[in-house]
Amino acid sequence: MANPTQPPLIGLLFSETGVTSDIERSQRYGALLAIEQLNAQGGVNGRPIKALLRDPGGDPDRYRLYAEELIRNQGVELLVGCYMSHTRKVVMPVIERLDALLCYPTPYEGFEYSPNILYGGPAPNQNSAPLAAYLIRHYGERVVFIGSDYIYPRESNHVMRHLYRQHGGKVVDEIYIPLYPCDDDIRQAVERIARAQADVVFSTVVGTGTAELYRAIASRYSTSARPPIASLTTSEAEVAKMGADVAEGHVVVAPYFSSIQTAASQAFVQACRAFFPEDVSITAWSETAYWQTLLLGQAMHRGDSDRSEAVLRHLYGASLDAPQGKVWIEQQNNHSHLTSCIAEIDSAGVFQVKWQAPQPIRPDPYVVVHNLDDWSASMASEAQP
Ligand code: ACM
């Protein structure tokens, strides 16, 4: 331990307030649950881990300032946090310059590598590629894109457009709304969706706008069949806000859903219910924050350190039986091997799994394997630790 007079530290950068607070609170409590369990097992060689929490309120500048404050002033080198990609992008130069480590438990657009970031959520080859195949097979070839106006939706749509085109699909419109949409933004977007007469809507809208969009679609199609909305990010947290009647029939791809009935998932859900505040949902991104923090804690314990370099040495080659199944980090690109699932939301708001990858998918953030036919070439069993 670098400083035996200090407790081992982990900084948490999740917004308790702001546009993505529902989902970020689910991540924050996932990380806190892991720290609670690690400490119950003795922390870092008998020393309880101390979590330092900051609330950036969804503001990129505050993510950057809090990251710098935690590292420079508090001596933190290990952070778990960020949801929206532009918040990760502003934290990245800070953690690289100060040689800290960020666990990022969120799906994102890919095309990034930092030696100082561990990417715990899926890259496009792990979520967009199987989703595109599923949507074309089950719903049809005409898709309309709608996203919040920032990097994650724009880049994700770029990949999705390629995936659709490769199989003769057609993107009939591409719509962006502000991160904080007003009623008019949503209304105009829904009219464009209706005009496009697509088989399916691919949504990369995040945060509070998600429930508003789904509600507006439900209301616009109150007398006719509504097109399913497929998403990489809509979770139990957003469904809790929109209601089961509005969520019914929509589609999500993620490595975990709280409805999964394995023993590991049920134990996780039970632990979350006992630990999370009542208004915090159990989501795929709670699960990712949970297993990334557990993996971090185990590496801290093995390295007897909360310094980034020592911890990183013990993270590579380690695997964990997470609630979703076995997960591990690909040392070549710092992304994670994950088992993707596609679910349709039923009339009770429950995510019913319709498809599951037969084994963990190797992360390919630069989409080297780049089409619908061979995305499953990313399946990797030979590289399992
Ligand atoms: C995201 O912005 N990566 C959800």
Express as a percent the part of the chain with pLDDT over 70. 94
Tell me the per-residue pLDDT of 290-317, one tens digit each, with 9 for 90 and over. 999 999 999 999 999 999 999 999 999 8
- Binding site membership of 357 for ligand 1 (Cβ less than 6 Å): no
**Ligand 1 centre distance from Cα of residue 108 (Å):** 5
Over residues 100-120, the mean pLDDT reads: 98
Tell me the per-residue pLDDT of 139-167, one tens digit each, with 9 for 90 and over. 999 999 999 999 999 999 999 999 999 88
Q: Note the pLDDT of residue 134.
A: 95
Q: Note the pLDDT of residue 383.
A: 43
Q: Note the pLDDT of residue 380.
A: 46
Q: Note the pLDDT of residue 378.
A: 53
Tokens 């457009």 correspond to: 161
- pLDDT tier for residue 6 given thresholds of 50, 70 and 90: confident
**Ligand 1 centre distance from Cα of residue 83 (Å):** 5
Average predicted confidence (pLDDT) for the chain: 94
12 backbone φψ class: left, alpha, beta (φ>0; ψ -120 to 50): beta
Tell me the per-residue pLDDT of 206-220, one tens digit each, with 9 for 90 and over. 999 999 999 999 999
- Binding site membership of 276 for ligand 1 (Cβ less than 6 Å): no
Q: Note the pLDDT of residue 370.
A: 53
For the entire predicted model, the pTM comes to 0.96
Half-sphere exposure of 32 (CA within 13 A, CB side): 19
Q: Note the pLDDT of residue 346.
A: 98
Q: Note the pLDDT of residue 375.
A: 54
Tell me the per-residue pLDDT of 57-92, one tens digit each, with 9 for 90 and over. 999 999 999 999 999 999 999 999 999 999 999 999
- Binding site membership of 85 for ligand 1 (Cβ less than 6 Å): yes
- Binding site membership of 232 for ligand 1 (Cβ less than 6 Å): no
**Nearby residues of 236 by Cβ (< 8 Å), 6 or more positions away:** 26, 257, 258, 281, 282, 283, 351
**Ligand 1 centre distance from Cα of residue 350 (Å):** 23
**Ligand 1 centre distance from Cα of residue 43 (Å):** 31
Q: Note the pLDDT of residue 350.
A: 98
Distance between the two ends of the chain, CA-based, in angstroms? 27
Mean pLDDT is lowest, of 13-17, 223-227, 248-252, for 223-227
Q: Does the pLDDT value for residue 369 go beyond 70?
A: no
**Ligand 1 centre distance from Cα of residue 126 (Å):** 15
Over residues 8-15, the mean pLDDT reads: 98
Nearest atom in ligand 1 to the alpha carbon of residue 233 is 4
Residue with CA nearest ligand 1 atom 4: 84
Q: Note the pLDDT of residue 3.
A: 60
Q: Which residue has the higher pLDDT, 4 or 201?
A: 201
Q: Note the pLDDT of residue 367.
A: 77
CB atoms within 10 A of CB 337: 25
Mean pLDDT is lowest, of 157-171, 177-191, 241-255, for 157-171
Domains defined for the chain, CATH in brackets:
9-121+262-272+282-337 (3.40.50.2300), 124-259+340-378 (3.40.50.2300)
Ligand 1: which of 90, 91, 152 to mutate, most ligand atoms within 8 Å of CB?
152
Residue with CA nearest ligand 1 atom 1: 84
Tell me the per-residue pLDDT of 47-56, one tens digit each, with 9 for 90 and over. 999 999 999 9
- Binding site membership of 152 for ligand 1 (Cβ less than 6 Å): yes
- pLDDT tier for residue 381 given thresholds of 50, 70 and 90: very low
Residue with CA nearest ligand 1 atom 2: 84
**Ligand 1 centre distance from Cα of residue 5 (Å):** 37
Q: Note the pLDDT of residue 385.
A: 53
* Rounded CA separation 83/297 (Å): 21
71-108 burial, b at 16+ Cβ within 10 Å, e below that, comes to: beeeebbbbbbbbbbebbbbbbebbeebebbbbbbbbb
